[in-house]
Structure 1
Amino acid sequence: MKQLLVLLAAFCAGHAVQTDLSEKVFSFPVPSSTAAVKLVPYSEEPLRALTMCMRFFSSLTRAQSLFSLAVPSQSNAFLLYKPSVGVYRLHVSGVSLELSGMPDDLTEWNSVCWTWDSTHGLTTLWVNGKRSDRKILAAKASLSGAPSIILGQEQDTYGGGYDQAQSFGGDITDVHLWSSVISPCEIRSFMDGGAFTPGNLLNWKNMQYSIAGPVYMEPRDFDKLSCF
């Protein structure tokens, strides 16, 4: 009875559920201006450093959003956007930079980690075990207010403003978010599918989320990532 009441409470609170998503993927099979997954972080404290890691599988060559975090004062507070094959655009607090020549596989899973520290604005992107040069982005910035975190869409407004032309197509799994810059060894372990400390803001093994539009939860394929 207690479990039933918890599930009913989650349903009434915007259909949010909290569960272990190990070996699960969110699948976005068609272009859509409504398909989105909202992730609920564990904390709403001001953010001055972040690491986000995820895996995605997509054959799209057009622009698409991979991870969108907005705060009430800034829709592009922490946005990982992919304009084209091998090109990633990083946005922090409305400031952006573009990285080209990054690894990109249209037929396999891609593992991505992105670190940012506001102290000096140092930011680094890791894709499939290869890292970018360190760059400076939004030094001294602080991301304040309740984060709105969306998979599958870019937020042009806080919690909305979706554009089908920027929607993600494919599968997403293993999303973690930390309120610090994690070590290169932890990043390498994530990339290799080994043991690592789960995110303290988002943890794929204990995630609260809600789904809108044509998004489907599916078992992850039995590839090398599924066998660790």
Structure 2
Amino acid sequence: MMLLLLLVMLTSCAAIPRDLSNKMFTFPQETNTAHVRLTTSRQNLGAVTVCLRSFTDLKRAHSLFSLATPSAIENFLIFKRAASDEFELWARNRYVILYGEDYELNTWHSVCSTWNAVSGVMQLWLDGKPSSRKFVSSGSNINGPMLIVLGQEQDSYGGGFDSKQSFAGMMSDVHMWDYVISPDEILRYSDHLSFTPGNVLNWWSLDFQIVGRVLIEDQQKTL
């Protein structure tokens, strides 16, 4: 009986494609375990765009998006620093700090980050407003089996989580592309208009696995 119950639980937690339109992931507490794993079969990326929406009252540092491979743990990372106006953007285990970002607490924010392996340049778009374009890493693609995590920062491949870097709050509309989408497309995403969905991760057809206490709820929208 216990074995049957375990099999049912494992099956219920397996990654399945699901349309999450008008839904959100709620991370209700600080923890070093709870997270969402996003699934992709891609193993080679020469460029990346990631867009998501987040809502939190965290004043400490926290991870918004963490992509790791066995050869590079911080292969693509969007990390909010403790200072209210600072972000870190990581690509291929190297990072740049962005200053002067208007990231208010208890507000839904649209966050997009782009990187291209040829130029090595990264950029952040916060609520449709671009940051300075800064060089991070060039010359090599993101290669290997990818583990993508929401809610935690990977300090090892698929693990090494620190509760003091965990995300607590709500997150929605996660999309990822294998190219740098245009500024017009980013603005359309930020303004909740029609846009081309991600071809690596698509919120409207998402493969994911929830680990720990993460809820799927109706998205709470504010004026």
> With structure 1 as the length reference, what TM-score do the two structures score?
0.91
Task: Give the CA deviation at 1:128.
Answer: 1.1
CA distance in 2, matches of 1:123, 1:141: 14
Task: Give the CA deviation at 1:12.
Answer: 3.6
Amino acid at match of 1:197: T
Secondary structure of the 1:187 match is helix
- From 58, 61, 75, the equivalent of 1:63 is 61
Aligned partners of 2:13 and 2:210 also within 8 Å: no
Deviations 1:142-186 (A, max 9, x none): 111111000000001111111111000100000000000000000
> With structure 2 as the length reference, what TM-score do the two structures score?
0.93
Alignment of 1:1-228 (within 5 A): 12=11, 15-41=14-40, 43-84=41-82, 85-224=84-223
* Structure 2 residue ranges without an equivalent (≥5): 1-6
Deviations 1:174-221 (A, max 9, x none): 000000000000000000000000000000000010101111111111
Residue equivalent to 2:4: none
Aligned partners of 1:70 and 1:159 also within 8 Å: yes
CA distance in 1, matches of 2:147, 2:12: 15
Deviations 1:107-136 (A, max 9, x none): 210001111001111211100121111111
Aligned partners of 1:10 and 1:17 also within 8 Å: no
Deviations 1:48-81 (A, max 9, x none): 1000000000111100000000011111110111
CA distance in 2, matches of 1:170, 1:130: 22
CA distance in 1, matches of 2:12, 2:143: 23
Instruction: Classify 1:138/1:168 alpha carbon distance in 2 versus 1 (closer, same or farther; 3 Å).
Output: same
Amino acid at match of 1:178: W
Secondary structure of the 1:15 match is coil
* Structure 1 residue ranges without an equivalent (≥5): 1-7
Aligned partners of 1:103 and 1:130 also within 8 Å: no
Secondary structure of the 2:188 match is helix
CA distance in 1, matches of 2:117, 2:205: 27
Task: Give the CA deviation at 1:45.
Answer: 3.2
Aligned partners of 1:27 and 1:218 also within 8 Å: yes
CA distance in 1, matches of 2:194, 2:113: 18
Task: Give the CA deviation at 1:13.
Answer: 8.9
Question: Following TM superposition, where does structure 1 have runs of at least 4 consecutive aligned residues deviating by more than 6 angstroms?
Answer: none
CA distance in 2, matches of 1:38, 1:9: 19
Aligned partners of 1:67 and 1:79 also within 8 Å: yes
Amino acid at match of 2:77: L
Which of 213-222 and 32-41 deviates more?
213-222
